[in-house]
Structure 1
Amino acid sequence: MATIGLDKLFYSKITEDADGNETYATPVSLAKAMSAELSVELAEATLYADDGAAEIVKEFQSGTLTLGIDDIGASVAGDLTGATIDKNHVLISTSEDGGTPVAIGFRAKKANGKYRYFWLYRVKFGIPATNLTTKGESIEFSTPSIEGTVLRRNKVDGLGKHPWKAEVSEDDTGVSATVIKNWYDDVYEPTYTTTGTTE
C-alpha cells in the first residue's frame, strides 16, 4: 500500500563489544522528518550450468539512506558525524571527523491511516548538506539533508543471520499491539520460535 506521510524520526547510539556486537542505547528524537529515501545495493552471482542459469544468489550488500530534515541540532550532528562542540557551544567539524554508526527508526503513514514502522540497524552518516538561498520576493525554506550508508549489523539474530532492517505495518495480520506501542522504546530485536518461524 502507498504511503502518504513520514514522521517520528529517531536514532539510537551504538556501542560495540570486543567482537563488534552492537548494543543499542535508548532511542531519542533526531529531527522532524521531511523525507527519507532508501536505496539498496545487492551483491549477486549467477552460476551457469547446462547452457543456462542454474543458480542465482542475491544478497544485501549495503544501502544509502538520505534524510531530509527540518533542522539538525549540534548534539545530534555530533552523534551522527563525529563533530565536536567546543566550550562556547560551537559545533566544530574537522577533516578527521568520522561518526560512529547509529540505528535509525521512523514510520510512514499509509493511505488507510495506519503506519508502517522501520528500524535500520546500522547507519554511518557523512557531513550534512546545507542549502542556503537569499530571501527573494517569495518565502523559500532551506533545510539540511544528511546521507548515510546502511550496513548489516554485526550481531547475529536468533537464526544466526545479520539483519539490516526491521519493518512492520501495524495492520498486518498477527502483529501484536505491544510491538507497535513499544517500537521507539528500544531498537527492535527479532524474536523467533525454536523452529525458526516468527512468533
Structure 2
Amino acid sequence: MEKAKKMPIGMKDLFYATLLEDPKGGLTTYATPKSLAGAVTGNLNPNGSMTPFFSDDGPTVVVTSQGLLELELGIDALEKEVAAEIFGWRIDANGVLIEGDSANQPYIALGWRSETTDGGYKYVWLYKGKIQPPSEEYQTKGESVEIKSGSLNASFIKRDSDGEKKVSVHSNDEDVKPTVLVDWFKKVYEPDQDIPAA
C-alpha cells in the first residue's frame, strides 16, 4: 500500500524555551518551554548553497554548505511577559513594558507542530536563535474592521555543544516512541543515539 503524503496544512502550538547553557562539547540546557503566541504562518529558509567544481569539460563535484536558518513567523499577538523574556526587555513596577537595547536578549529554542494531509502532525524544534522585535502596523477603523496580525523574523544557528540546529519528527512515523510526542512541548527534545542508515 502506498504511504499517504505528509504535506503541511496547518501550524499550531508555538512554544519557546530560553537557552541557559551551551558549552562547546558539553550539554545544552534550556528553561521549561512556554507558549509564544498563536501561530498564523511560518516560512523557514535554510539558506544553504551548492557549489559545483568543473573538470574535464563538465561538473564533477558538488560541494554543499549549510547557512543561517531564517524564519518568518506570522502570529496573533505577543503578551508583554513573553516580549520581555525573548527580547531581553523588562516590565517595571507599574506593569509597563520597557523596551531597551538588545544587549540582554537571550538565545531561545522555538518549537511548533504542523498538521499534515495524512492526518498526523510534524513536530519541530529549532535549537538556538534570536527573534527581532516585531514591526507594528495600525489602522483606523472604517465601515469594516480589519484585524492586524503580528510578524516576527528570527535567525537560528548551530549549537556550540554539538553543532545541531533543528530536529523534527512526524507522529505517523512507525519508529517514533509515543513518549517523544507526549513530551515534545514539555521540554526541548534532545537527540537519542542515532540509528545507522541502512
- TM-score category (smaller protein): 0.7 to 0.9
Q: Which runs of 5+ in 2 are unaligned?
A: 1-5
> Which of the numbers 153, 166, 175 marks the counterpart of 1:147?
153
- Aligned partner of 1:163 in structure 2 is 164
Cα distance in 2 between the residues matched to 1:98 and 1:44: 36
- Aligned partner of 1:102 in structure 2 is 108
Question: When the two structures are superposed, what TM-score results if normalisation uses the length of structure 1?
Answer: 0.87
> Which of the numbers 12, 15, 18 marks the counterpart of 1:10?
15
- Aligned partner of 2:126 in structure 1 is 120
- Aligned partner of 2:3 in structure 1 is none
* Identical columns (%): 35
- Aligned partner of 2:193 in structure 1 is 192
Partner amino acid, structure 1, of 2:83: A
Contact 1:130/1:143 (CA < 8 Å) preserved in 2?
A: no
TM-superposed CA distance for 1:131, in Å, is: 1.6
Cα distance in 2 between the residues matched to 1:80 and 1:126: 9
Partner amino acid, structure 2, of 1:32: G
Partner amino acid, structure 2, of 1:190: P
Q: What is the RMSD computed on CA atoms of the aligned residues?
A: 2.0
Cα distance in 1 between the residues matched to 2:72 and 2:8: 17
Contact 1:81/1:97 (CA < 8 Å) preserved in 2?
A: no
- Aligned partner of 1:52 in structure 2 is 58
Cα distance in 2 between the residues matched to 1:72 and 1:188: 24
Q: Secondary structure at the match of 1:118?
A: strand
Cα pair distance change 1:179/1:18, threshold 3 Å: closer
Contact 1:40/1:64 (CA < 8 Å) preserved in 2?
A: yes
Given the alignment of the two structures, is residue 85 of structure 1 paired with residue 91 of structure 2, yes or no? yes
Q: Which runs of 5+ in 1 are unaligned?
A: 157-161
Judge which range, 37-46 or 180-189, deviates more. Answer: 37-46
Contact 1:12/1:103 (CA < 8 Å) preserved in 2?
A: yes
TM-superposed CA distance for 1:50, in Å, is: 2.9
Cα distance in 2 between the residues matched to 1:175 and 1:35: 26
Question: When the two structures are superposed, what TM-score results if normalisation uses the length of structure 2?
Answer: 0.87
**CA deviations over 1:143-178 (Å, ceiling 9, x no partner):** 22111112111111xxxxx12111111001211111
> Which of the numbers 26, 33, 36 marks the counterpart of 2:32?
26
Cα pair distance change 1:98/1:126, threshold 3 Å: farther
TM-superposed CA distance for 1:185, in Å, is: 1.6
Cα pair distance change 1:58/1:191, threshold 3 Å: same
